[in-house]
Amino acid sequence: MSTKKAARTRRAEHEKEKQHRRRQGPLILAMVVLGVLVVLATVLIFGTGGRDSDDSRVWSAAHGHWHGR
């Protein structure tokens, strides 16, 4: 293979790799945003469920901590 042809081949492969990385950027960003939304939705849906409200817990002086009703 001639030197010019080898250089052209390397340049073409390098450009192809750069294009591949450019296409991956938005995909990775979309996956991160989707992951954050899934975590937020899970927290909002399953969150504490009202278990930590003052109405559902009673202080036990004998034990020195809170008890659920």
- Cβ(57)–Cβ(68) under 8 Å? yes
The pLDDT-based confidence of 16 (bands split at 50, 70, 90) is confident
* Average confidence score pLDDT of the chain: 84
How far apart, in whole angstroms, are the C-alpha atoms of residue 53 and residue 31?
35
Domain of 49 in residue numbering reads as: 3-68
Q: Which residue bears the tokens 């030197």?
A: 3
How many CB atoms are located within 10 Å of the residue 56 CB? 13
Inform me whether the pLDDT recorded for 51 exceeds 60.
no
The structural domain count of the chain equals: 1
